[in-house]
Amino acid sequence: MKTIVLIGLVLAISGVALARDLPEFIHVCKKNEPNLSECIKSSIINLKPQLKTGMPDYKIPSLEPLMLKELTATAGGNLKLKITNAIIHGSSDFLLTKLKANLETLTFIVDVDLPRLSISGNYDVNGRIILLYIRGNGPMQGNFTNSKAFVKIQMKEFKKEDGESYLKVAELKTKIAVVQDGALHLENLFGGDPVLGDAVNNAINSNFNSFVTEIKPTVENAISNAFTDIANGILQQFPFKTLFPES
């Protein structure tokens, strides 16, 4: 689900290098392309090897691993969960199943499948979830299998000091539709109590879908905010006419 970095690429990779030397691995999609959506989708798929390592010259971070400084989630006001220094593996194995672009309304819809994600980092949690009281902080590891995410981006056009029109993300909404399976392990729960820690970890993994459902809305919001910033970092470098040339 962390491959929402692709959203910035939806708008940037198709013409990002016209203002500089065009890398051979970037296929440009013209504004009047007969099937613009399929062209952008194909461009992203062709870029998967480069996305794995990142493209610093274009402010595109690496997807392997993908690193998030902080992710904060709550569940119904009963739980506070913060994950810091998260390292996510598997994002570069994304499957782009659908992409729909509308330059008239500046709306973009992307569907992504993720066969497997693994995450490690540090957590701090306090509250109740799936009827359990949970408290602790320390290292954590997790994995998610066969996830599906739907993303809708609404862009807007604005002018910068150079007089050129640019795009920025006005709204980015992420919907985690499916997480087929997964597991989570939180170390040092309840100050390192092995009995309580094992009991809570077992309960979470026995009810993994319920756990994901409870924290999903705020996780979706946190991911959307993080990757709005990434997308805008990419977009501010290039005028609209450079991203999507007329011909």
At residue 11, the pLDDT reads 53
- Residue numbers of the chain with a pLDDT score lower than 50: 1-3, 14-22
Going by C-alpha positions, the residue among 68, 34, 27 that lies closest to residue 50 is: 27
Amino acid at 130: I
* Structure-token match 């198709």, residue found: 14
What pLDDT shows up at residue 140? 96
pLDDT value, residue 55: 80
**Structure-block tokens of residue 23:** 């890398």
3-state DSSP assignment of residue 118 = strand
Q: What is the pTM of this model?
A: 0.78
Do residues 228 and 188 touch, judged by C-beta distance below 8 A? Answer: no
- Residue 207 token pair: 């009810």
Closest CA to 150 of 108, 98, 111, 93: 111
